[in-house]
Amino acid sequence: MSDINIRKTGQTGRITFTRPKALNAMSYEMCIAIEDALDAWETDPEVKMLVIDAEGEKAFCAGGDIAELYETGKAGNFAFGQKFWADEYRMNAKMFEFSKPVAAFMQGFTMGGGVGVGCHGSHRVVGDSSQIAMPECGIGLVPDVGGSYILAHAPGRLGEYLGLTAARLGAGDAIHAGFADYYIPEADWPALIAKLEETGNWSLIDAAAQHINPGPIAESGAEIDAFFGGEALADVVNALKASDSDFAAKTLKTLNRNSPLAMGCTLEIVHRVRAASDIRAALEQEYRFTYRAMEHGDFLEGIRAQIIDKDRNPQWQHSLDSLPAVAVSQMLMPLGDAKLTFEKGE
């Protein structure tokens, strides 16, 4: 496949995104190819570890390829998206649970679907260009691909803040928030990857890592904890409105652009997942939302406004000040027979 290069090199299983002009956006076919590789390499004695990287300087993987999701959803075909997400989440779980070390080298943008590949490994490497984010609320979705698990286990209320605002994490903040493990200058990556291929010795990553301080988002931790500690979206909004700080004003402006329904559900999912000890619980909660996202959520309108018409003027179902609690509950109710099962080939 021209969009992704999957092969065995030396002691490693190698996955390289090769769509730099599309910011390495991940298609359904790429997702399935990654899962097939994970299945093959799990028991392959020649594969000591996985190494995942991407071509181009701008992005490791800037997200999922959502044009096809939009076209099928607008045509009333919700089943395509439901299958897409179910299959993608199954791959995300396998990446998280893979029994061998998984190293990901994430330059530039790593967002959405890219987080589901790069941020579930054991050795997650960032550099000076890295920008990691979960921007789903801006298109009427919730942070998914297992991203809610990372958000729920971030320090304090940082997960709530990142999920609702889509704030971008530089290298230091990405490590602080739990989306990455190691800072290594990007100029050192090619030689390190070559050594990993040759030896399969993942401890070389520890040896190459350098110290980096947390960034500006970590420095705002006290404010984030104060404003994002509420149970529901209204609690967060009211806390921000009651403050005259620059941080509160800037954050409110950001929230006003995003889908209130998606933000309300994101808060609830992060709260539920905080008690979970494995990624599958997070993926199951996310799937409850994405299963319903086209028919009952703001997803199609969000894509229209941001990607299709590009008018940046989405007409959300609810306002920031009047999101009914029942709307959140309805999006996150159990799915019954449609529940995410993680079974392949359904």
Catalytic residue list: 64, 113, 136, 144
CA angle at 153 for the pair 196 and 81, rounded to the nearest 5°: 80
The helix/strand/coil state of 260 is helix
The first and second tokens of residue 156, run together, are 């304090």
Alpha-carbon distance 198 to 11, whole Å?
6
Alpha-carbon distance 123 to 203, whole Å?
10
Alpha-carbon distance 218 to 247, whole Å?
13
Alpha-carbon distance 161 to 157, whole Å?
6
- The DSSP output letter for 307 is I
Alpha-carbon distance 223 to 160, whole Å?
12
Closest-CA residue to 92 (of 75, 70, 72, 117): 117
Closest-CA residue to 109 (of 180, 63, 59): 59
The helix/strand/coil state of 220 is coil
